[in-house]
DNA sequence: CTCACATAGTTGTATATACAACATAGAACA
DNA sequence: TGTTCTATGTTGTATATACAACTATGTGAG
């Protein structure tokens, strides 16, 4: 490879390394979800499942498609997550009136889990704030809110 | 379930929904990596692989363990990513002198890919900035940098 | 009414990721 | 010199996630 191309390689690598938003959001994702998943593990649920549980609790009865749009998650991702949560006995999946939409509701076991989870979630949230700093946590929260608004959620 | 507990459920769901950092970082992750992966797909690499390629380009020869520490990724994640990238012919995996560390280097094919990737990456970065807004993108970048610093990277 | 089209969910396949368990190879120390 | 401790990688297993292809169901145009 010519010196010219060699320089191009180094420049590309440095530019991407110094700026890439994808690398940074993945780092944050690994760091933060690691904190939450570790905290939630004794309860048997993951932070992704908690997020879905909360949406269903706040809006149920609600269809998987609506949850998918609300969270900007692919419908197949929701489908499989719902299946796990159903298997764990936290949700009830009922046929909707239309015959193709389903109706999800959090059942008694799921509600009890949610209440039991709150203090654990709170602890994880505190740890995450410690890692991000208060202003970092604020930034992340408002960034998330902004993207949500922009997605034209339901 | 008593009214008291019913209230506790609603409060937990609302508190978590309104504040959870994990839900927000996962939303950002899905949104941003979606943009990059879509842009990179024609080139046959993912944004995770690009991140690793860049680290190896900037620091190679380097061991998988060092990459793992640098990116705060689990060693098994690195191991399997390296295997895919090796299979694609972008990296060379050589035995290190010590006999247990490996030495990774980006080879000619990987370098050519990196150069070809730069404009594509740039486009994705621009799209991501459009979604986040300039100030949001700045926040995310500095948040990532801050977490990196805090991790006591090599 | 029928056919084309859109919507809802599921399933196949692949990557990213982590944790746990393991094998191996240096290193420290008795 | 062994023996124990630690560091490096790999592999099994599981979840999160997405895209593509598929089924089934509603909807609307003719």
Q: What are the two backbone dihedrals, phi and then psi, of residue A94, each rounded to the nearest 5 degrees?
A: -115, 155
Mean pLDDT within A140-154: 85
Q: Is A83 on the interface with B (CB under 8 A)?
A: no
CA distance A107 to A89: 8
Is the pLDDT assigned to residue A16 strictly greater than 70? yes
Task: Please report the DSSP string for B72-107 in residue order.
Answer: T--HHHHHHHHHHHHHTTSEEEEE-TTSSSEEEEE-
- The string of pLDDT tens digits covering residues B61-91 is 999 999 999 999 999 999 999 999 999 999 9
Give me the residue from A15, A51, A115 closest to B20, CB to CB.
A51
User: What was the pLDDT predicted at A5?
Assistant: 67
User: What was the pLDDT predicted at B13?
Assistant: 96
**In this complex, which residue's CA is closest to the C1' atom of nucleotide C15?**
B46
Q: CB–CB of B51 and A148 under 8 A? A: no
User: What was the pLDDT predicted at A109?
Assistant: 95
Q: CB–CB of A33 and B55 under 8 A? A: no
CA distance A39 to A52: 17
Q: Which of A2, A3, A7, A22 to mutate to test the interface with B (most CBs of B within 10 A)?
A: A22
Mean pLDDT within A62-91: 95
Confidence of residue B98 (pLDDT cuts 50, 70, 90): confident
Q: Which of B108, B105, B110, B106 is nearest to B63 (CA)?
A: B105
Please report, rounded to a whole number, the percentage of residues in chain B having pLDDT higher than 90.
86
Q: Which of A28, A53, A34 is nearest to A113 (CA)?
A: A53
Residues 20-79 of B with CB under 7 A from strand D: 26, 29-30, 34, 37-38, 63-65, 68, 75-76, 79
Confidence of residue A60 (pLDDT cuts 50, 70, 90): confident
Is the pLDDT assigned to residue A153 strictly greater than 80? no
CA distance B127 to B143: 19
CA distance B146 to A130: 12
Confidence of residue B153 (pLDDT cuts 50, 70, 90): low
- The string of pLDDT tens digits covering residues A121-130 is 999 999 999 9
State the CB neighbour count (10 A cutoff) for residue A17. 15
Q: How far is CA A22 from CA A75, B44, B98, B154, in A?
A: 23, 17, 34, 21
Nucleotide with smallest C1' distance to residue A48 CA: D16
Which residue of chain B has the CA closest to A26? B29
Is the pLDDT assigned to residue B152 strictly greater than 90? no
CA dihedral over B101, B105, B110, B115, signed as positive or negative: positive
Q: Any long-range contacts for A84-92 (C-beta under 8 Å, 24+ apart)?
A: A84/A49, A85/A45, A85/A49, A85/A52, A85/A53, A85/A110, A88/A44, A88/A45, A90/A45, A90/A49, A90/A53, A91/A53, A91/A56
Please give the mean pLDDT across all residues of chain A.
Answer: 92
Confidence of residue A96 (pLDDT cuts 50, 70, 90): confident
Q: Chain B neighbours among A 62-81 (CB < 8 Å)? A: 71-73
Is the pLDDT assigned to residue B18 strictly greater than 90? yes
**In this complex, which residue's CA is closest to the C1' atom of nucleotide D20?**
A76
Name the least confident of A11-15, A75-79, A96-100.
Answer: A96-100
Mean pLDDT within B112-127: 96
Can you name the residues that pair with A94 across neighbouring β-strands?
A103
Q: How many helices, marked H, and strands, marked E, lie in chain A?
A: 7, 2
Confidence of residue A2 (pLDDT cuts 50, 70, 90): low
Q: Is B8 on the interface with A (CB under 8 A)?
A: yes
CA dihedral over B51, B131, A49, A77, signed as positive or negative: negative
Ramachandran assignment for A46, one of left (phi > 0), alpha (psi -120 to 50 degrees), beta (any other): beta
Confidence of residue B99 (pLDDT cuts 50, 70, 90): confident
Q: Is A15 on the interface with B (CB under 8 A)?
A: yes
């Amino acid at each position: 490879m010519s010196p010219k191309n060699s320089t191009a390689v180094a420049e590309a690598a440095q530019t991407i390394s110094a700026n890439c938003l994808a690398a940074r959001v993945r780092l944050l994702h690994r760091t933060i979800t690691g904190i939450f998943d570790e905290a939630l593990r004794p309860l048997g649920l993951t932070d992704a499942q908690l997020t879905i549980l909360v949406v269903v609790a706040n809006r149920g009865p609600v269809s998987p498609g609506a949850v998918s749009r609300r969270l900007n998650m692919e419908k197949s991702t929701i489908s499989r997550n719902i299946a796990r949560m159903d298997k764990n006995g936290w949700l009830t999946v009922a046929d909707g009136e239309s015959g193709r939409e389903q109706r999800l509701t959090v059942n008694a076991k799921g509600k009890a889990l949610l209440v039991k989870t709150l203090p654990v979630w709170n602890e994880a949230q505190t740890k995450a704030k410690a890692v991000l700093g208060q202003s970092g946590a604020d930034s992340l929260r408002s960034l998330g809110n902004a993207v949500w608004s922009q997605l034209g959620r339901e």
